Amino acid sequence: MKINPIVNSNPNQTNFKAVNQKYLKEAENWYKRIGDIDSSWYESLRDDVCLFGDISSKDGIDTMNAIKKYVKEGSKSCYNHILECIKRG
């Protein structure tokens, strides 16, 4: 049986197949409140992927890629560090 890919109807939003919606919404809320994503968000996602295994590495990577647009320049090193941790598993 062939599974059709998810089609994104919003052309302004990047299409990722495995974004964790809970973490995406939290990142959007942080961005709306303070204009950046709090470090506790990164730590929580990293722990759910690497420590607890509640989220797959693929889902974690896609989630990180989806929130990249919310990351301020000063937070890029934190973002990149957590992304590398998730990629390594």
pLDDT in tens, 25-77: 999 999 999 999 999 999 999 999 999 999 999 999 999 999 999 999 999 99
Structure token pair of residue 8: 């994104």
pLDDT, average across residues 9-18: 54
Phi, psi of 15 (to 5 degrees): -95, 115
Rounded CA separation 85/55 (Å): 13
Predicted model pTM: 0.79
What residue segments make up the domains of the chain, in order of their start? 21-88
What are 51's two structure tokens?
């420590």
